[in-house]
Structure 1
């Protein structure tokens, strides 16, 4: 038993040190792929949950589906803020401290990220669980009741969601991508098994309806969060959140917030662009909306790829900048960005050339297929630049420079808002002009970030510039 314990203690820091050395000195593309693969798998698992919940709730009827649909934008905002915002920022600051060889500081930053996540979750509980909010968003009658029940449970347990995503970010910052991915995949598997039992009831368990779906999300996230916390806090781990005492330091919290606050703004801008585009498409009628809804689902495949590789980019860029290796950090950035551009671009090109392959997988209605194909023929060709922009956002997060990513996202929003308004008024009853505007907004976002990244000097410390 003593020998096994000694071996475990020796292997844990050795494995973390080996990963760090690969990030600092290993071949760029193989190392990036090794780190990104579990990330991509974990994020695809999250995508499965979104589709599964839609199926389960849909069996409860139209009011349940409508109620959850009203809550979904805020639920997705919480997911993006906790995983990409604070979680991604935790990855960046922990990786930079680890790259500098300061494991004690990495542990302190991990602890502060965890505390900030709990504070942010409390804000979501106070604001997003209120029925007044969903009434203001248009929910009425039974749909409002369903929205209130779902939101009350989901945001009442927001701390579980924030904690698991922040801890996954800490794990990525230390190069433990497998642990982060395993936590997300385990959460998904548990949810797939538990949610139907809570929604429809099983044996002595009464059916909870939409509240059951939310309760499953919270419960499974909490279990994974506790397991991940125990793993990260084990003796010999590189950044132990619970190994630094309970003291809070203003400087450590400020360092995280310098990245986390602008990182949290980015999904608001991105979701705003999507919401505006959806609203404009709705003005062209139900057929256009149905086709657009199916066609735009392709982005559910693109986003996990970009986010998965992007998470590895954040860790590798931050680790190398922490070790004063700015040139290598730039090389890693362009390697990862090119990889995401190639993969998402290839998927988009196939969709643009053969759009019915995608549309036929979801509907047999020829008119809906044609409406969605119109969108994919125009927008699919620039999906590579959408992926490029996402990848460069994560690299910029690792570099601590987020001004240009926010500028690029804001530019996308402005183009969709102004260009979409013109398109709906000048293009008659056909949405092709609007789709062109959407495509141009993605192209602008990707190119803006590419030019800004090329011209930026990463040899000086970044402070969210």
Structure 2
């Protein structure tokens, strides 16, 4: 009799788990809709910010490992780094943010079944983007790095890195897509834990595979991306398993059958514009890299370190931005535009303050950063890096403001002004750099001055547009 009586308990275990997860998910959505904005945003953002700082440490360590391989490896990393960051920004920010916002809007509108089907669509989209990027880099990577002005050995180092990273980037795409789904349910802790795990594993693994620590082979440039890809593969497995097990409160029974073109459109209509914004941001860095490359390997290495810190501001802002995307999305889905705007301004001004403080610090003391990677004998690289921080870092606050409002705009599903601001940034950077280097004799410092002015334009344009009511207009 006891065995017969215990059977229903075993069968009911999974539904009980799913029911508890659903209750927790509904509670998180209610929190985003009703709780005080500043404290709720801080609570949601804190795990992300911590995880992003650890991810920043991973990027710093990669540059350090490359510096141990030599100045050519460091310059090669500068050539490939914008493309690598494009992958991270698309998968976690542009497309990832669109995924998070779509799920949050579905849950804000109390459509849980749609949230599950959007998750399946997100995984399909992630695999498609990863395959496209891998094919493009394999076919055209070497030619692209050559166009940026790198010398033969520098281009070879960049190509070696790219031919490992990009075929393996499907792991990064699936991991970030899955974490975006989890954030869309209002759960910021689990994504933070997974990213912490990925970073903690990738740092010693990349260094060990590059430099030959312990029993690991010394693979040189190959080891740097290999460690990152393997760590993200583990992260993808954990995140996808967490979702499929029902711990997000989403039920996947019939989710695949409910897929339709509208769900892909829901993600891609926002993600496409967000991706344009991301591509423009990266293209700006790539163009500046090409211009700096004309001044030699030392200048390229110094600028690469400066641009790396600039890119590292993106994960820091993302820590706050991911929370804003979910909160704004949930409030827009519930028809509460005024509250969504208050969330946007609260988070964006906080991001600007944090990033602006970092910018002022490195503007005053650039060797705090440069000294971690360069010897005093690397005078050309040091001079370029110091000039970069002196002229660009004071404008980091505007970069932080604009990028944070970009994440908030994803939640609102309104991406026109972020794209316009990025187009303006690219135009100001390129045109002003060409003018200053051609007619003033400023050399590489003219390029850096143009980058700083472009950040100013970027932040002001999107802020003024949203302040004047951009979200209330009938834009995509």
TM-score class, shorter-chain normalisation, is 0.7 to 0.9
TM-score, L = length of structure 1:
0.88
How far off is 1:165 after superposition? 0.9
Say which SS state the counterpart of residue 244 (structure 1) adopts. coil
Alignment deviations for residues 289-331 of structure 1 (CA, whole Å, 9 cap, x no partner)? 5654554454255322212111111111111000111110011
- CA deviations on 1:173-192 (whole Å, 9 max, x unpaired) are 11111111111111112222
CA RMSD of aligned residues (A): 3.2
Q: Corresponding residue for 2:467?
A: 454
Are the aligned partners of 1:273 and 1:413 in contact in 2 as well (CA < 8 Å)? yes
Deviations 1:172-211 (A, max 9, x none): 1111111111111111122224334544567886554433
Query: Does residue 78 in structure 1 map to residue 87 in structure 2?
Result: yes
- In structure 2, the residue matched to 1:133 is 141
Structure 2: runs of 5+ lacking an equivalent: 1-8
Shift of 1:65: 5.3
**Counterparts of 1:328 and 1:245 in 2: how far apart (Å)?**
34
Q: Which moved more, 1:196-205 or 1:207-216?
A: 196-205
Report SS of the residue matched to 1:52. helix
Tell me if structure 2 keeps the 8 A contact 1:47–1:300: no
Q: Which residue is 1:108 aligned to?
A: 117
**Alpha-carbon spacing, 1:205–1:346, altered in 2? closer, same or farther (3 Å):** closer
Residues 131-174 of structure 1, C-alpha deviations (whole Å, 9 max, x = no match)? x5314532787666655554333222222111001111111111
1:404 corresponds, among 417, 424, 429, to 417
- Specify the SS of the correspondent of 1:156: coil
Q: Gapped runs of 5+ residues in structure 1? A: none
SS at match of 1:235: coil
User: Residues 371 and 194 (structure 1 numbering): CA distance in 2 closer, same or farther, change over 3 Å?
Assistant: closer
How far apart are the structure 2 equivalents of 1:236 and 1:279?
47
Paired residues for 1:21-60 under 5 Å:
21-60=30-69
TM-score when normalising by structure 2:
0.86
The residue correspondences of 1:193-342 to structure 2 (distance < 5 A) are 193-199=204-210, 207-235=218-246, 237-240=248-251, 244-245=255-256, 248-283=259-294, 292-342=303-353
Matches within 5 A, 1:401-440: 401-429=414-442, 431-440=444-453
Count of aligned pairs between the two proteins = 462
Q: Give 1:27 deviation, angstroms.
A: 0.6
Q: Determine helix, strand or coil for the equivalent of 1:137.
A: helix
1:342-381 to structure 2, matched below 5 A, reads 342-353=353-364, 365=376, 372-381=385-394
Secondary structure at 1:408 match in 2: helix
Deviates more, 1:144-153 or 1:248-257: 144-153
3-state SS in 1 of match to 2:166: helix
Counterpart Cα distance in 2 of 1:349 and 1:52: 23
Q: Aligned equivalents of 2:218 and 2:54: distance in 1? A: 25
Partners of 1:142 and 1:376 lie apart in 2 by 27
